[in-house]
Structure 1
Amino acid sequence: MKSYDIAIVGAGMAGATLALALNRLCQTPLNIAVIEAYQNHDDKRHPGFDSRAIALSFGTANILKKLNLWQQFLPFVTSITDIEISDRSHLGLADITAQHEQVSALGYVVELDNVGRIYQQALKASPNVDYFCPAKVNHIERTLEQVHIDLSDGTQIESRLLVAADGALSESCQQLNIPLKEIDFEQVAVIANVSTQILPQGRAFERFTQFGPVAFLPMSEGRSSVVWCMPQQRADSMMAADQQTVIEALQHDFGWRLGRITKVGKMACYPLLLRYRENTVSHRFVAVGNAAQTLHPIAGQGFNLGIRDVLSLAEEIALTQQTLGDVGDYSMLSRYRQRRQQDRQYTMSLTSSLVHCFSNELPAMRVGRNVGLLAIQYLPYLKQPIVKRTMGLVER
């Protein structure tokens, strides 16, 4: 039986960031086990580090700088200098610029498979982290002082604290009967990288259409990462269509802000749901990242919320190590839950409200949201709180 201070199930961005944050923040190194079911191969990407791109907020970049990780990200990130929010065929339009906010970038776009390599190297270079991969958790049993974990490779470990960072359908949470709530938005996201006649040059777009939102994020090599939300039936049609049909449909929804769409890369399709656990902590256990909540991508908030959770948890653990010594003590978990409650609930509510508001074609709703977009553009006292949330500059 191997003994650890903390066992983290999942080595995606949430789990890996937590392990590295603990290394950075704790005065005395903790013994950490990271358990990961997927082994990276060229033909099979880790599901947390697939071919998608994600937006890192300005606040998330600051967190990664604090953890001495940002330097490794720099070769792979593309800056977002301008975000335009609009409603197709209507007047409503809001624009957020880095120049106006007096920052070099509002956020950054990074491809997840590049991030995967950064984290794998960093974890393997950490002497106090034991990396069990590929390995699944077969059985979890909690006692007063420890969590006992049986792994699929026959290893048995015990830990003061178990952290579930193993995705939206977390098997760790399932084994401990942590309830999962689910709201189906009755949409799917078609994901692809596209090339356009006009290079994006740092410009991101969030466009609302009769089918759902479509987002363009600037990427390397002059491409854009597209998240195209629509009903399942239309997505099935798009996934089966030839490239020219897809280009024409996307051009119709997005418009001509980047000129003609010249190429659409390999497409993937994901159902859009809000999945969340009301109770993210219990005895010697905490869920973070997508295991705690998985949001609609409409405002790019999900990953950034998860990173704020991770850093806050690491700070609480580091503080508890200095005072109580027992990093799995329930008083620490209780403090963490209270600390994160407001940001978590507000972000989940905001995201869901935006989906319902901007996917509704009732005339009154259309008028209301366009007036809202114009108000955001021209009334600073309305705009600033939204800009700060977009940039991830919120209380943790």
Structure 2
Amino acid sequence: MMQYDVVIAGGAMAGATLALAIEHLSKGTLNIAVVEPFKVQSEGHPGFDSRSIALSYGTVNILRHLKLWPAIEPHATPIEHIHVSDRSHAGMTDITKQDVGIEALGYVVELADVGRVYQGLFEHSQSITQFCPNSVASVEREQDKVHIELSGGEKLEAKLLVAADGAVSQCCQQIGLELSEHDFDQVAVIANIVTQEPHQGRAFERFTPNGPVALLPMSDNRMSLVWCLRPEEAKRVMALPDGEFLERLQNDFGWRLGAMKKVGQRASYPLLLRHRKQNISHRVAIVGNAAQTLHPIAGQGFNLGIRDVASLAEEIVKQIDDVGRYQGLMRFSVRRESDRQETIWLTSSLVHIFSNDLPAMRIGRNFALATMDNLSTFKQPLLRHTLGIVKR
């Protein structure tokens, strides 16, 4: 039986960030195990098709505070300008880094790069042990500890188990934590593309009758595409040859970046809102997609997850003698309640308002976009969440 203070199920960005945050804040005094099914790709790089994620300004500040940003920054592309528009209608709004007086509105990082950065930090850590490839097979809780058996047969004991093992969390299923699910009746088509004009650090969110199209700036003048479509439409688009795919995208997105020149490997996944009302249980805390998985509109999900991670790490080190004590978990849960509810509500509301082509909705959202562009008071709530400057 191997003993740890904290066992983290899931070593992707949320789980790995949590492990490194706990190590930093506890000055290496806590023993942490990270259980992850997939090995980091150390050979080569996904190249053109590398998948990416947008980090808000607030998330970058959290990573700075945790001393993780210096290792990630060389791999990050700054977002200097966000353009929001509605296809074939007048409403639009722009947010620039000059508007808010910061060096960047956010950054886009490739997951393969961050995975390698974190792997390097794990290998140099004295207090983090990895079990990889491996996963949690069973969980049994007692008054003052948790017994965890891994699929590889290893038996671990911890004061606290953190579920960071994705939307369909095995840990949460093991302990019977209820999952609420809402189907947005949309599918996200994702790919990297190259446009005729350089992106110059610009990000675009364009609302169409089918759903939003987002393009985020990446290195080597690539752009990361998230294109939300009705399921039957997504199926058709996924089957198109590259040339026809780019034509169809051009039609939805427009010509702000000139002609669409190249598309890489495509993937798609159904868009669901999944969330657990409870983000704690006896000797268990839940973070990242295991706590809530949001629609990608406005890029809120991962950034919300990092705010969960930072708050949990802070509460854990306040009770270093017993990191799984209920008082600390309760403080974490109360701290996170309003941000979780507000971000879930904001994201879902945006989907319903901007994926609806009813005339009244269309007029309303165009008025809102135009007003936002002219009156900074209307811009503030959206801007606050876009930048991730949220009380936690």
For residues 170-204 of structure 1, the C-alpha deviation after alignment (integer angstroms, 9 at most, x for no partner) is: 11111111111110000000001111110101011
**Alignment correspondent of 1:351:** 347
Q: Which runs of 5+ in 2 are unaligned?
A: none
Q: Which amino acid aligns with 2:377?
A: Y
Q: Does 1:309 align with 2:305?
A: no
Q: Which amino acid aligns with 1:261?
A: M
**Alignment correspondent of 1:55:** 54
C-alpha separation in 2, matches of 1:45 and 1:116 = 11
Q: Residues 78 and 110 of structure 1 are in contact (CA less than 8 Å); yes or no, is this contact kept in structure 2?
A: yes
Q: Which amino acid aligns with 2:21?
A: A
Structure 1 residue 43 displacement after superposition = 9.0
C-alpha separation in 2, matches of 1:241 and 1:67 = 44
Q: Does 1:375 align with 2:374?
A: no
TM score, norm. by length of structure 2: 0.97
**Alignment correspondent of 2:198:** 199
For residues 251-284 of structure 1, the C-alpha deviation after alignment (integer angstroms, 9 at most, x for no partner) is: 0000000000011111110111101000110000
Q: Does 1:266 align with 2:262?
A: no
Q: Residues 27 and 318 of structure 1 are in contact (CA less than 8 Å); yes or no, is this contact kept in structure 2?
A: no
C-alpha separation in 2, matches of 1:358 and 1:45 = 36
**Alignment correspondent of 2:25:** 25
Q: Residues 298 and 351 of structure 1 are in contact (CA less than 8 Å); yes or no, is this contact kept in structure 2?
A: yes
Judge which range, 383-392 or 254-263, deviates more.
383-392
Q: How does 1:156-195 map to 2 (within 5 A)?
A: 156-195=155-194
**Alignment correspondent of 1:35:** 35
Q: How does 1:243-322 map to 2 (within 5 A)?
A: 243-321=242-320
Q: Which amino acid aligns with 2:273?
A: L
Q: Secondary structure of the residue that 1:21 maps to in structure 2? A: helix
Percent of counterpart pairs with the same letter?
A: 56
- 1:342 corresponds, among 309, 316, 338, to 338
**Alignment correspondent of 2:136:** 137
C-alpha separation in 2, matches of 1:264 and 1:28 = 44
C-alpha separation in 2, matches of 1:23 and 1:119 = 13
**Alignment correspondent of 1:113:** 112
Q: How many residues align?
A: 390
Q: Secondary structure of the residue that 1:194 maps to in structure 2? A: strand
C-alpha separation in 2, matches of 1:116 and 1:246 = 30
Q: Does 1:151 align with 2:112?
A: no
Structure 1 residue 242 displacement after superposition = 0.5
C-alpha separation in 1, matches of 2:271 and 2:32 = 33
RMSD over aligned Cα, in angstroms?
A: 1.5
Displacement over 6 Å in runs of 4+: 42-46
**Alignment correspondent of 2:219:** 220
Q: Which runs of 5+ in 1 are unaligned?
A: none
C-alpha separation in 1, matches of 2:294 and 2:306 = 13
C-alpha separation in 1, matches of 2:33 and 2:196 = 48
Q: Which amino acid aligns with 2:365?
A: R
For residues 330-374 of structure 1, the C-alpha deviation after alignment (integer angstroms, 9 at most, x for no partner) is: 011111000000000000000000000001111000000111111
Q: Does 1:332 align with 2:331?
A: no
Structure 1 residue 45 displacement after superposition = 9.9
Structure 1 residue 39 displacement after superposition = 2.2
Structure 1 residue 51 displacement after superposition = 3.3
Q: Secondary structure of the residue that 2:277 maps to in structure 1? A: coil
Q: Residues 296 and 351 of structure 1 are in contact (CA less than 8 Å); yes or no, is this contact kept in structure 2?
A: yes
Q: Which amino acid aligns with 1:19?
A: A
Q: Secondary structure of the residue that 1:385 maps to in structure 2? A: helix
**Alignment correspondent of 1:95:** 94
Q: Residues 37 and 134 of structure 1 are in contact (CA less than 8 Å); yes or no, is this contact kept in structure 2?
A: yes
**Alignment correspondent of 1:7:** 7
Judge which range, 35-44 or 258-267, deviates more.
35-44
Structure 1 residue 130 displacement after superposition = 1.1
Judged with a 3 Å threshold, the aligned counterparts in structure 2 of structure 1 residues 30 and 241 are, in CA distance, closer, same or farther, namely: same
Structure 1 residue 40 displacement after superposition = 3.3
Q: Residues 38 and 132 of structure 2 are in contact (CA less than 8 Å); yes or no, is this contact kept in structure 1?
A: yes
For residues 268-309 of structure 1, the C-alpha deviation after alignment (integer angstroms, 9 at most, x for no partner) is: 101111010001100000110000000000010000000000
Q: Secondary structure of the residue that 2:171 maps to in structure 1? A: helix
**Alignment correspondent of 2:390:** 394
TM score, norm. by length of structure 1: 0.96
Q: Which amino acid aligns with 2:226?
A: V
Q: Residues 290 and 306 of structure 1 are in contact (CA less than 8 Å); yes or no, is this contact kept in structure 2?
A: yes
Structure 1 residue 28 displacement after superposition = 5.7
Q: Residues 77 and 217 of structure 2 are in contact (CA less than 8 Å); yes or no, is this contact kept in structure 1?
A: yes
C-alpha separation in 1, matches of 2:180 and 2:381 = 28
Structure 1 residue 137 displacement after superposition = 1.3
Judged with a 3 Å threshold, the aligned counterparts in structure 2 of structure 1 residues 45 and 171 are, in CA distance, closer, same or farther, namely: farther
Q: Residues 188 and 268 of structure 2 are in contact (CA less than 8 Å); yes or no, is this contact kept in structure 1?
A: yes
Structure 1 residue 385 displacement after superposition = 2.5
Structure 1 residue 119 displacement after superposition = 1.2
